[in-house]
Structure 1
Amino acid sequence: MKSTVMKKTMYFFAVPALLFYLTFWIFPITKLFQYSVTDYNGYAQSFNYIGFDNYKDLFSGGTLGNSISNTLIYTVVSVVAGNLIGLGLALLLNMKIRGKGFYRSISYIPTLFSAIVVGFIWSYVYMPDSGMIATFLDKLGIPNDNLNFLGSYSTALYSIIFVEIWKNVGTTMIIFLAGLQTVPNDLLEAGRIDGCGGWKLLRYVKLPLLATSITINTTLSLINGLKAFDFPFIMTNGGPGTSTNTLIYSIYKMAFTEQMFGKASALGIISFVLIIAVTAVSVLLMNRKEVSA
């Protein structure tokens, strides 16, 4: 009798979480799919069912390919470079150096700023002629007349990726640092006695024990890259041309600028499936590495 009452009580406590999940997860996705098969423009009271025409247009046009390409570049570069820089900082600040608490704080500060603040600051830093970089090069006597980081097709996307890494590397560093501080000193001493130098200790002792930290940082960086919107919107507005159009920015542009809400919903469904698939595969592979490590 008591176990039956306990089970009913457990189900009762699960109801709020279930309602939250249905309201803010299942219902929006269902509505998104409903809109994706219509010609809804975002404000009209009536709209027509058009089947999968929006999906066909996306796959036949260049918008989807360009957005996916930019998003994948953004994601891969930010994940790889961000984790390498974060690991390097963590290894450096885990050493016995004076003032390392201060350096840790300085490294983490960019994480505390909002994306809007960071985007505006770096827009001024990158500004041609009068920006910080241009002024610094002027002082050194280096010509910078054609230097336009955010206005060039070849540099705009990578300039934004650098800002993404700069903002989030503090979080990456802290997670790696927490992992490094759990590495037993006995193992490190045993490795040194066996003749392991700094690189071998990192490769065969520290990195295997950092498998969980690597998984967490990779997953967080992956999600941040795949849902990139803030910096392309704030710093370049998707330009020049479509060079910084990411998937999420393209959804925003279609829905609120071009007033093609149905088509934007279709792109949202495609993005949702792509992000879930990439994240799931990544987590699965990282978990396998954790087990083997």
Structure 2
Amino acid sequence: MNSTVMKKSMYWFAVPALLFYLTFWIFPILRLFQYSITDYNGYAQAYSYIGLDNYKELFRGDILGVSLKNTLIYTLVTVIAGNIIGLAMALLLNMKIRGTGIYRSLAYIPTLFSAIVVGFLWSYVYMPDYGLISSFLDKLGIANELNFLGDYSTALYSIILVEIWKTIGTTMIIFLAGLQTVPNDLLEAGRIDGCGPWRLLRHVKIPLLATAITINVTLSLINGLKAFDFPFIMTNGGPGTATNTLIFSIYKMAFTEQLFGKASALGVISFAVIIIITAVFVLKMNKREVSA
């Protein structure tokens, strides 16, 4: 078999992956766009094309603004707090201390649990009167009427804390892997030049962690923008619309209110928002990584 025939035959190996990509990625997206301009309710065979009415209704109503605001807050706090805490844990566990392996394993354990398990676990932790936090405060003799998940002002941030607790192990491991690639000779040279721990972190370690930072920020960004599990499991979007995220609102609109066409329109808007935000972040992080 000559090289030309071999090259042509090699393209056939890409066909299964291409078919999979078209079937489970491109086709659903095209159908999403199609349903977004209809009054489809999710189960009826017949539906009508109504143009951009679904989009107009979403932009006139409150649900898009509330869901987008909650999602952006969720994402911003998850990205910033999650990465700062993950980096701090990685720095601590990168030190030569006794039992480091055990501490690393304990820090990673939450990542191994499913979102359902974590959601129900933290629901009991947050439970007023009988929850772990309330019981602990009662034992200390501190009177409290805390209702973390039932208070409009604290519900979203309580769920964000659970998201960070669940994903912090992965963030820490990636930072830890990056720290272990930092050359000791470079650190020693910095110490000889009079650099303290803070200056070494700022001017040596963090620049060399550019790739790890890019990975962790991207993962945190994606987790935040597609937030659904914990709002669904712990609060069902409540109280009111306090924990309504974009993905949760799509689910509720499609499967509870049976407004599949409108939900598809919200899905298109969410898709655009996620693509734009992710692209901007990745481009900025890649530029920072190159300059570092």
TM-score range, shorter chain: over 0.9
1:107-256 matched pairs, under 5 angstroms: 107-144=107-144, 146-256=145-255
Task: Output the CA distance in 2 between the equivalents of 1:165 and 1:6.
Answer: 50
Cα displacement (A) at 1:7: 1.9
Deviations 1:201-227 (A, max 9, x none): 000000000000000000000000000
TM superposition outliers: structure 1 runs of 4+ over 2 Å: none
Cα displacement (A) at 1:2: 2.5
In the alignment, residue 47 of structure 2 is paired with which amino acid? F
RMSD after superposition: 0.7
In the alignment, residue 95 of structure 2 is paired with which amino acid? M
Gaps of 5+ in 1: none
Task: Output the CA distance in 1 between the equivalents of 2:6 and 2:274.
Answer: 38
Task: Output the CA distance in 2 between the equivalents of 1:72 and 1:220.
Answer: 15
Deviations 1:178-202 (A, max 9, x none): 0000000000000000000000000
TM-score (norm 2): 0.99
Deviations 1:16-45 (A, max 9, x none): 111011000000001111110000001111
TM-score (norm 1): 0.99
Task: Output the CA distance in 1 between the equivalents of 2:67 and 2:151.
Answer: 18
In the alignment, residue 98 of structure 2 is paired with which amino acid? R
Task: Output the CA distance in 2 between the equivalents of 1:207 and 1:116.
Answer: 35
Cα displacement (A) at 1:282: 0.4
Cα displacement (A) at 1:4: 1.3
1:274 alignment partner in structure 2: 273
2:257 alignment partner in structure 1: 258
Cα displacement (A) at 1:257: 0.5
Task: Output the CA distance in 2 between the equivalents of 1:30 and 1:257.
Answer: 23
Task: Output the CA distance in 1 between the equivalents of 2:152 and 2:116.
Answer: 23
Give the number of aligned pairs: 292
Deviations 1:87-142 (A, max 9, x none): 00000000011000000000000000000000000000000000000000000011
Task: Output the CA distance in 2 between the equivalents of 1:36 and 1:6.
Answer: 44
Task: Output the CA distance in 2 between the equivalents of 1:7 and 1:33.
Answer: 37
Gaps of 5+ in 2: none
1:65 alignment partner in structure 2: 65
Task: Output the CA distance in 1 between the equivalents of 2:9 and 2:176.
Answer: 41
Identity of aligned residues (%): 81
